[in-house]
Structure 1
Amino acid sequence: MKLKKMLIATLCLLAFAAQGFADDIELAKKSTLNKILERKELRIGLDPGYQPFEMTDKKGNIVGFDIDIAKLLAKSLGVKLTIVNTDFDGIIPALLTDKFDIILSGMTITQSRNTQINFPEPYIVVGQAIILNKRLKDTVHSYKDLNDPKYTVASRIGTTGEMATKRMIPKAKYKSFDKEADGAMDVVNGQADAFVYDLPFGVVFMAQHGEGKAILLDEPFTYEPLGMGIRKGDPDFLNFLNNFVRQIKADGTYDRLHHKWISSTKWFKNM
């Protein structure tokens, strides 16, 4: 009797395992990774207005740190790369409706975004910095000094710069912009006291437009991990992207890209 019960239990366990294996196969077939390989095309969604991550050069080509990562990703998959130009404020809905396969657009990983989409591990970490009107050089030394109704602080709408401003500088008057360059120029032109945005953009803007006209408070006051966004329920694709990020960080590729786009300013002449 005991032997019979053990046999039944074993058969039930094998049946359960077989069902789980079948479910895994079906899940793999539905993976975005599998669809990319079948299509022989990787579709990347981005908004090309965020220097030095994605931007348009003098020839009309979209270039930058994220673009080079996208090219490497397509090469690793053996497929062609297609860039899908998408406004940042609608980029998550566009991903969810299958307009493209990955968001690769300088997107900060936040808990709110993570409830809608998944992220592999960050491919770079940045933070919010402040472009300051030069008349405040001796008055404002950190974001805390801007937390006053007499100051007007700007950022780009729908970004973590806006979130940080509203959360950490709530007493200041807030001014939103559709594009980060417009907000930063508002400070240069004296229409706003400060512009809050990611440090790499601040470095680039100051080199191109801000010298002698504004001040960069270049010590980040937030932790901003940037990641690729993908649709939920796709462990195979998430696993692939995690391994891709680890590989480029380990083999020196990431360091070369960081020097090319973040540390160096040689690319300015082509913009």
Structure 2
Amino acid sequence: MKRLLASFLFSVLFLSLISTSYAKDNSWERVKSKGILVIGLDDAFPPMGFRKADGTLTGFDIEAAETLGKRLGIKIKWQPTAWDGVIHSLYAKKFDCIWNGMTITPERAKKVNFTKPYIMDGQVVVVRFNENKIKTFKDLKSAIIGVQKGSSAVEAVKKLPVSPQEIREYDSNPKAFLDLEAGRLDAMVVDNVAGRYYISVRPGKYKILPGFITKEPFGVAFRKEDKELLKVIQSEIDKMVADGTMAKISVKWFGEDITNPKKW
């Protein structure tokens, strides 16, 4: 009797494991049936995603994702979220993916699945335009440096050749730029695309020091179990790169095509 019971329980467990392992991934069907792809973002990250004066969202990622949505026949719904908890919010199912200049790192890749890189970015140092004492990374010794909380700048600042006096974390890059302009910071470590955007909209206020601290690819992040959704989005991004759609959007926001892997 015990052997029969043990054999029965083993069979039930085995069949349960088999059915679980072969469970259908309906992530794309779920999005397709609703007709809406919900995307998480930091809505204060120019030029990737930010709000205009009237409150509407704009930016490279906004335009790229909404173009993709039209091509797939679905609507895009944007869900602003705190960046330092963005992966937690993804798994809490507040949105379907994260599309917002998210750097692909080994640590993040343990928690989410990424598309292939769609932009190659990097971390740079921004100082005030009239700053004469800080000309290279080595001049940042004893400086007060600002970074965005939860961003890859937090780790990048640790890779500088000298140790700053203090590292201040901010909820958003705009707040840090305001402190830099006001003299409360000596420098900022920030994504190259964000730094160059702020320089373009505030001419004569900031400049970028020569060189990159790191080179970092941007990817769209999905929950580990949502492989079919990732597959569909990746396929459409590939088509947008091949037919020049991504290049056109890139030139609009960055003045050049930084989406073509052949140029990286």
Q: TM-score range by the shorter chain?
A: 0.7 to 0.9
Specify which of 46, 51, 57 is matched with residue 56 of structure 1.
Answer: 51
Residue matched to 1:221: 213
Specify which of 158, 163, 167 is matched with residue 159 of structure 2.
Answer: 167
Write the letter of the residue equivalent to 2:160. Answer: M
Deviation track 1:153-192 (CA, whole Å, cap 9, x = no partner) reads 1111111112101233561121111111121222222111
Query: Could you tell me whether the CA contact under 8 Å between 2:68 and 2:237 is conserved in 1?
Result: no
Give the structure-2-normalised TM-score.
0.83
Query: Could you tell me whether the CA contact under 8 Å between 1:199 and 1:218 is conserved in 2?
Result: no
Residue matched to 2:184: 191
Specify which of 245, 250, 254 is matched with residue 253 of structure 1.
Answer: 245
Aligned residues: 239
Specify which of 20, 32, 43 is matched with residue 27 of structure 2.
Answer: 32
Write the letter of the residue equivalent to 1:144. Answer: K
State whether structure 2 residue 229 is matched by structure 1 residue 237. Answer: yes
CA apart distance, 1:21: 11
State whether structure 2 residue 139 is matched by structure 1 residue 145. Answer: yes
Query: Could you tell me whether the CA contact under 8 Å between 2:137 and 2:162 is conserved in 1?
Result: no
Deviation track 1:202-250 (CA, whole Å, cap 9, x = no partner) reads 1121222351x43322533311111111000333223222222221111
The secondary structure found in structure 1 opposite 2:248 is: helix
Query: Could you tell me whether the CA contact under 8 Å between 2:138 and 2:162 is conserved in 1?
Result: no
Residue matched to 2:171: 178
The secondary structure found in structure 2 opposite 1:71 is: helix
Deviation track 1:238-269 (CA, whole Å, cap 9, x = no partner) reads 322222222111110011000111218xxxxx
Specify which of 83, 88, 95 is matched with residue 100 of structure 1.
Answer: 95
Using the TM superposition, name which of 232-241 and 86-95 deviates more: 232-241
Query: Which structure 2 residue ranges, 5 or more long, are not aligned?
Result: 1-17, 257-264
Cα gap change, 1:250 to 1:95, in 2 (>3 Å)? same
Instruction: Measure, in 1, the Cα distance between the counterparts of 2:161 and 2:211.
Output: 16
> Higher Cα Rg: structure 1 or 2?
1
Residue matched to 2:127: 132
Q: Which has the higher strand share?
A: 2
Instruction: Measure, in 2, the Cα distance between the counterparts of 1:59 and 1:49.
Output: 14
Give the structure-1-normalised TM-score.
0.81
Instruction: Measure, in 2, the Cα distance between the counterparts of 1:92 and 1:143.
Output: 31
Instruction: Measure, in 2, the Cα distance between the counterparts of 1:155 and 1:48.
Output: 17
Using the TM superposition, name which of 170-179 and 113-122 deviates more: 170-179
Cα gap change, 1:192 to 1:22, in 2 (>3 Å)? closer
Instruction: Measure, in 1, the Cα distance between the counterparts of 2:161 and 2:82.
Output: 26
Instruction: Measure, in 1, the Cα distance between the counterparts of 2:209 and 2:92.
Output: 39
Query: Could you tell me whether the CA contact under 8 Å between 1:106 and 1:227 is conserved in 2?
Result: yes
Cα RMSD after superposing both structures? 2.3
Write the letter of the residue equivalent to 2:176. Answer: G
Q: Which has the higher helix share?
A: 1
